[in-house]
Structure 1
Amino acid sequence: MESPPASGRGRRASNACERCRRRKIRCTGSHPCTNCSRKNLSCHFDGQGRKVVVSQKYLQELQRAAVRSSHLEDRDRATSNAPAAAISFASGRDDDVSPNQLPGFTPVSQPTPESATEPSNPLASAKSSYVSDDKGRLRWLGESSTWSFSRKTLMVIRDHLKESDLPDVCINEESRAYDLDWGNQPLDSAAKFRNLPSIDHATYLIESLQFHVGQIFHLFDEANFIHQVREFYVNPAKYAGENRIWYVQFLAVLALAKAVGTNPGKGSRKLPGSEFFTRAMSLMPDSSYLFNDALTAIEALCIIALYLQSADMRNSAYIYTGQATRMSLVFGLHRERPTDGVWSPETADRCHKVWWTVYILERTFTSTIGVPMSVHEEDITTPMPKRDGTQNDISLYIHVRISGLIFQVIRKVYGAEGRLQASFLPSVREVLTKIASIAGDLNGCFPLPSDGSGAGISRAAAHLHLVYHQAVLLTMYPLLLYLVQARLREESRDPKASRTFSETTQALLKTCAESCNTMIHILSALRQEGLLECSLPFDLERIFSAAFVLKMLHFLTPRLKSYRPLRSESNLLLDDLIDRGSIPARFRKSELVSLEAMMQTWTDEGPEIMDGGPSQENQRPQDAVLQPDLPHLEGVEIGLGEFEANFVDPNRMSPGHLLSLVEMADVQEGGMDSDMAWMDAWLWENPEGLPLV
């Protein structure tokens, strides 16, 4: 998308003679002008009365500027009290004007202050502020930027001068001082357009991608994108040359569509669509050029990140997601759009969708990599997606809310020191309470099929429920690993040690088991419908998470009756992906096999320990002590050993159900001499037993 044009044309540029314009000096506008008369030179004015074609929107902006200029007497009061305004410097200059100097500017908006007497911070605003450069591209004015501060200061001072004395204002934005670009391969070779699909095939791939991905992310506006595709196929070389960033996006769309719509093939080392992806990357412009069409560039970066994640290149995917995030911040997408006529409703809506897609990907990939979040919730003022809009709007709304929880989990549960302190359980309880608060909207807007309904499962609903339960597991990872370490340490010192879990610990472990159970049910339903994603990483990530946590739970509670059918079904899911050619699925399964083998070796009880629980004859003394106090975990069953994938209990992990588990885990912070004593007290039924040090 091209940035909206500047709001007005500087008057002085159109009233200067040719010589003054070439020399970039002030012209009096008279005929002959003072400068030409002083040099005894002929004075020519070009363009007087020249007819030009302008858009209706441009004329309307000029009319609004004229209305504003008629109220100059109110200007002083408005400027002194108003927050930072979104302003635009005129870009309608002739080609011979210096690229770093603009002849004048017209304010796009001057918001009326809420109170003429109430002071406000002129540099802090919930809405974005912009200036437009000489090419009509909008540049966001960041709150703490010295460059932005100087622009706003110049605007305030200039706004108090008489019109006849208005000086030139230099934009001098980045990438103007020197000529520096890299990595841009020219589009003058026919090879850049070789082996493209037919227009019908391309349209099919785009619509297929929308089905697989478009319901949960915004990667492009489908109607507008299809229109651009049709224009492109009329003259590919010409259209790509004029819209280079769009062509990169188009190639990335083809690559991702091929990846999600075609199985890699068993034994293949090439992810489908790789030929289009590598071509897109070879044509990717440098970062400064990307701002020529910022929204399209951000969308393209999101698509590239998804493709890299599908190729199991998680670090690279995170880097490109980070680039999309930073471009979004530089372009001010995290702030509310100014309501001054520069942004059409369609453009503003696209900005919102682009931002929230970047937000979701940033939260998702950040948690996948395990690094700190780069954008804090309190810095975002962009309106949330519509709760009562289209199905895609509602999907994006729920997705954003769940992604926001991931930020809360990372911030509250994962500390820099990596210690389970006295604040851990209250933090877990707070996060789980927030997770439960979303379940009502999730189940109401995207219900899962219930027993006997005969309805198939929705791909969008499945994804959102899986993300929801992934957030639950993410909250519980530290506790699970701590308990496994505790068992290993305790029984290494004394095989007959007797410690049992407290009711609080049992409730939290039951929460994990319930989420694993629901996730595998959903994934199995997707497999039966032929909707299990082979290339996109999300389904594989959920299968692996649920299966891995189940093995940890079984290590802690070997008589968990639901383990055998869930373990078998998770293996079927992984084998399905492996048979379809997913190399990452093969990697994940090998990791699960390694975990199971090590646990079996440690227990020294043979394969039956990890497969169905020990018999009474072979049961070790510590298992006999640990198990009787786990009635909640014993109850997590699926039928009588049979796995019914077409049924997902809609009441399982409902808000009330999850909150009841959270209430069981309600332990107040503090009250002990040390964090270790406090942890010992709520983890175990008999904390006076062996110390865990």
Structure 2
Amino acid sequence: MTQPTTPEGGYPSSDKDDFGPDSVFTTNPLVRDGSYIKDPWGRMRYMGPTSTWSFYQRAIATLGQRLPQDQTTPSELFAVDGSAFKLTWVALPPNGIPDLSGLPQTDHGLYMFHTVKFHLGYFSMIIDEPRFLARLHEFEMHPEEVAQSHRLWLAEYILILAFGEAFLNRPSRGDAPAGTALAARALALLPDLPQLHEEGLLSIEVLSLVALYLHCLDMRVNAFLYIGQALRLATVEGIHREIPEEAFGAELSQRCKRLWWVLYVLDRRFSSLLGAPSSIRDDDVGMTLPWESNDTSMGAALSLSIQLSRVLATIMSTVYSTSEKLDKPLLTVTKDIIHKLADIGQQVDQKLLPKTLNSSPSRMVCTITLMYHHCILHATRPFVMCLLKGYIYSEPQDRQKLHLTTSISNLLKTSTSSAMTILKTLSSLEKSQLIESFLPFDLEFLFSSAILLCIIDLVCPDYITDQNWLPSVNYLLDAIIRLGNVSARLRKAELHHLLQLLAEAKGSPGRDVELAPEIEASMLYPGDSTDVEQGDNGGSWSTVFDLDDTALDPSHLLDLALQLDREPDAEMFNFF
């Protein structure tokens, strides 16, 4: 057993003394407390404040303050970059001959390309489709010549095939995820940095896809490095500024818009998931949004995703400010975020949600819904950590005497509701066979929600209105594991460990997250068989997991924001 520690030997002991009604929300504990931990192998690891991995480790360390040393984190559960799977490759020399063996025929390649487009959604706009397909047909006629003269395009093509194999859940050899052998071949073809610069927009395109692929393998640090290279090349090429159509033509202008904004969204999401600052300030971006006069659902989804990414960046720079004291109290900056999200929620209602009662939102709508509620989780995590620390540092006889102001109580209830909505949305997607097992975001949303609900269930259990949330989490994790996700098994083990520590802190037997398959289906869909049809209506969970139930209610957030405006910041809660 190994307990992660900060350089100071754990969280500062002064936290317990400082935990009072007036000071508890002055600063964000996810920023204020120790930002480094020592892993089981003696290496110091930085805990980015917005990272779910860091939030989990901080929760474990906080619980460890009151638990015996032998009940803390086993070393095998300390998952770092590459713990799930580590992709390796050997670069092909510039004069080397690319390996074309085993590549599919063109018609099969087209099938894989369109499969990848469907699964990537608006992320597929990274790819310059007309140029890519034209080169593919040229490759069909002259494979060796194209492979030699357009190696970067070949790398992109093979990487798309790797994505396709993963999305189709093709069987793989051993424990390696499907498509990784192709991905290694693709990465071996990448040129060095000077040559990448000479390739212009194609380099940005390929580096972005590489970053996304590595993130899918839970190689987040490597993914962040590649997306950083893509972003810097983009600024060198100037596509973060407006590309005037009259000078460059409408086709190139629109391509640059699409490429830039998808890259922007990826950078913001990777930054928040890793807990690192965004690589470019919004003030430095002068590119207008794509399709401002085009009312397509894809354009609307990208536009809303950009807005949510901007809110995410604002959360990182305000709620998670590195200043020792925030310019504004934590509750005040959180109010501002709630206002922004309420505005975006109204836009989602107007632009993206279906207007007919009998239609279900698409995968695209569910993705925006998940992003929206994940932003709420990011904004409210500091309050959840404050509650956990208050619970752990208080005496056992005082733990049932938690008093919250109405505003803080409603803020935490909103956070809990968002976590539950994420579970509902993911369960609907799983039931419709639309949940993503290779792209990392659905698993991230699931794990973030599960951690928050675990803590709320300990400190404020009455805030969780349906106690079937834990079987739902377990069922979804098992579903993603069955589909071949390499990191879901680690997330499940980590969650099980957290539940055991929370039970120890509460002084009750640990909750078992393992369920028999026949119990899983019956708990998720009461009254239905395992082979539930999408339109069936069963017991209480049948409506919970109906896609129509994921519609946003921006008025709720707006009411909360107005309430937060009216209530003073001091004396927000206390144990006494």
Q: What TM-score comes out, normalization by structure 2 length?
A: 0.75
Ranges in structure 2 where 5+ consecutive residues have no aligned partner: 1-89, 515-537
Which amino acid is 1:658 matched to?
L
**For the Cα contact (< 8 Å) 1:216–1:399, is it kept in 2?**
no
* Counterpart pick for 2:239 among 321, 333, 345: 333
- Match in the other structure for 2:153: 246
The within-5 A match list for 1:86-105 is none
Equivalent in the alignment of 1:364? 269
Give the structure 1 partner of residue 182 of structure 2.
276
Q: Please state if 1:662 is matched with 2:565.
A: no
Matches within 5 A, 1:40-79: none
Instruction: Classify 1:334/1:327 alpha carbon distance in 2 versus 1 (closer, same or farther; 3 Å).
Output: same
Q: Which residue of 1 aligns with 2:395?
A: 491
> What's the secondary structure of 1:665's corresponding residue?
helix
Letter in 2 for 1:604: G
* Structure 1 residue 383 corresponds to structure 2 residue 288: yes
Structure 1 contact 448–462 (Cα < 8 Å) conserved: no
364, 375, 384: which one aligns with 1:460 = 364
Matched, 1:432 2:338: yes
In structure 2, the CA distance between the partners of 1:347 and 1:520, relative to structure 1 (3 Å rule), is same
Aligned partner of 2:135 in structure 1 is 228
2:482 to 565, 570, 579: 579
Q: Give deviations 1:42-62, integer Å, cap 9, x for gaps.
A: xxxxxxxxxxxxxxxxxxxxx
CA apart distance, 1:530? 0.8
TM-superposed deviation, 1:502: 1.1
1:163 aligns with none
In the other structure, the counterpart of 1:533 is: 436
Partners of 1:357 and 1:326 lie apart in 2 by: 14
Q: Which has the higher helix share?
A: 2
Q: Give CA deviations for 1:64-113 in whole Å, capped at 9, x if unaligned.
A: xxxxxxxxxxxxxxxxxxxxxxxxxxxxxxxxxxxxxxxxxxxxxxxxxx
5+ residue gaps, structure 1: 1-181, 612-638, 670-677
Q: For the Cα contact (< 8 Å) 1:555–1:610, is it kept in 2?
A: no
Structure 1 residues 609, 195: closer, same or farther in 2, change over 3 A?
closer
Which one-letter code corresponds to 1:533 in the other structure? E
Aligned residue for 2:82?
Answer: none
Per-residue deviation at 1:643? 4.9
Is 1:352 the counterpart of 2:251? The answer is no
Whichever residue aligns with residue 464 of structure 1, its letter is I
Residue type of the alignment partner of 1:519: I
Q: Distance in 1 between matches of 2:94 and 2:346?
A: 53
Q: Does structure 2 conserve the Cα–Cα contact (< 8 Å) formed by 1:334 and 1:355? A: yes
1:481-534 Cα offsets, whole Å, 9 max, x none, are 111101111235x54673311101111111112211211111111111111111
One-letter amino acid of the structure 2 residue matched with residue 201 of structure 1 = H
Change (3 A) 1:285 1:487: same
Tell me which residue corresponds to 1:63: none
| Deviation at residue 275 of structure 1 after TM alignment | 1.9
Deviation at 1:271, TM superposition (A): 1.8
CA contact (8 A) 1:216 1:395 kept: no
Does structure 2 conserve the Cα–Cα contact (< 8 Å) formed by 1:449 and 1:456?
Answer: no
1:320 aligned residue: 226
Residue in 2 that maps onto 1:543: 446
Q: Please give the residue correspondences for 1:176-255 in structure 2 after superposition, counting only pairs within 5 Å.
A: 185-186=93-94, 189=97, 192-255=99-162
How big is each residue's C-alpha offset from its partner over 1:596-620, in whole Å with a ceiling of 9 and x where there is no partner?
1111111112247999xxxxxxxxx
Aligned to 2:353: 447
After superposition, give the CA deviation of every residue in 1:248-282 in whole Å (9 maximum; x if it has no partner).
211221112222222567x9421221122111111
Per-residue deviation, residues 607-647 of structure 1 (Å, max 9, x unmatched): 47999xxxxxxxxxxxxxxxxxxxxxxxxxxx985353542
Deviations 1:444-490 (CA, angstroms, capped at 9, x unpaired) = 2321698x72x344111111111111111111111111111011112
Aligned mates of 1:371, 1:308 — CA distance in 2: 17
Partner of 1:511: 414
Question: Which letter maps to 1:540?
Answer: L
Distance 1:311 1:418, change over 3 A: farther
2:517 counterpart residue number? none
Distance (whole Å) between structure 1 residues aligned to residue 393 and residue 513 of structure 2: 20
Partners of 1:647 and 1:183 in 2: how far apart?
48
Tell me which moved more, 592-601 or 643-652. Answer: 643-652
- 1:335-393 deviation digits (Å, cap 9, x = unpaired): 1114553x121011101111101100100000010011121111111011224423322
Given candidates 553, 577, 582, the residue that maps to 2:456 is 553
Aligned residue in 2 for 1:119: none
Is 1:415 the counterpart of 2:321 in the alignment? Answer: yes
1:594 equivalent in alignment to 2:497: yes
* Partner Cα separation in structure 1 for residue 541 and residue 268 of structure 2: 36
Partners in 2 of 1:468 and 1:316 — Cα distance? Answer: 26
Q: Which amino acid aligns with 2:273?
A: T
Residues 449, 650 of structure 1: 8 Å contact kept: no
Runs of 4+ in 1 over 4 A off after TM superposition: 417-422, 607-611, 648-653
Secondary structure of the 1:606 match is: coil
Read off the aligned partner of 2:108 and give its amino acid letter: H
Measured after TM superposition, the shift of residue 422 of structure 1 is: 5.2
User: Bigger shift: 564-573 or 194-203?
Assistant: 564-573
Query: Offset at 1:199?
Result: 0.7
Q: In the alignment, residue 93 of structure 2 is paired with which amino acid?
A: Q
Q: Which structure is higher in RCO with an 8 Å CA cutoff and minimum separation 6? A: 2
1:379-435 CA-partner distances (Å, limit 9, x unpaired): 111011224423322221111111111111101100215667852111000011101
Evaluate the alpha carbon distance shift between residue 336 and residue 574 of structure 1 in structure 2; reply closer, same or farther with a 3 A threshold.
Answer: same
Query: 1:580: Cα distance to partner?
Result: 2.1
- 1:313 Cα deviation (Å)? 0.4
Do the aligned partners of 2:122 and 2:301 also contact (CA within 8 Å) in 1?
Answer: yes
Distance (Å, rounded) in 2 between the aligned partners of 1:367 and 1:418: 20
Structure 2 letter corresponding to 1:317: A
Quick one: structure 1 residues 329 and 519, their matched pair in 2 at CA, closer, same or farther if it must change by over 3 Å?
Answer: same
Is the alpha carbon distance of 1:264 and 1:572 closer, same or farther for their aligned partners in structure 2, counting shifts above 3 Å? farther
Q: Does the 8 Å contact 1:305/1:321 carry over to 2?
A: yes
1:443 is displaced (CA, Å) by 2.3
For 1:423 and 1:654, how far apart are their aligned partners in 2?
27
Superposed CA RMSD in Å reads 2.7
8 Å contact from structure 1 (residues 309, 537) kept in 2? yes
Aligned residues: 464
Q: CA deviation at 1:437?
A: 0.6
Residue 308 (structure 2) aligns with = 402
Secondary structure class of the residue paired with 2:242: coil
Q: Quick one: structure 1 residues 264 and 320, their matched pair in 2 at CA, closer, same or farther if it must change by over 3 Å?
A: farther
CA 1:360–1:433: 2 relative to 1, 3 Å: same
Give distance in 2, aligned partners of 1:217 and 1:363.
17
Residue 558 of structure 1: CA displacement?
2.2
- Distance in 2, matches of 1:184 and 1:605, equals 57
Query: Could you tell me how far apart the structure 2 residues matched to 1:519 and 1:530 are?
Result: 16
Distance 1:319 1:533, change over 3 A: same
8 Å contact 1:255–1:276 — kept in the other structure?
yes
Kept after mapping to 1: 8 A contact 2:458/2:506 = no
Identity of matched residues, %:
28
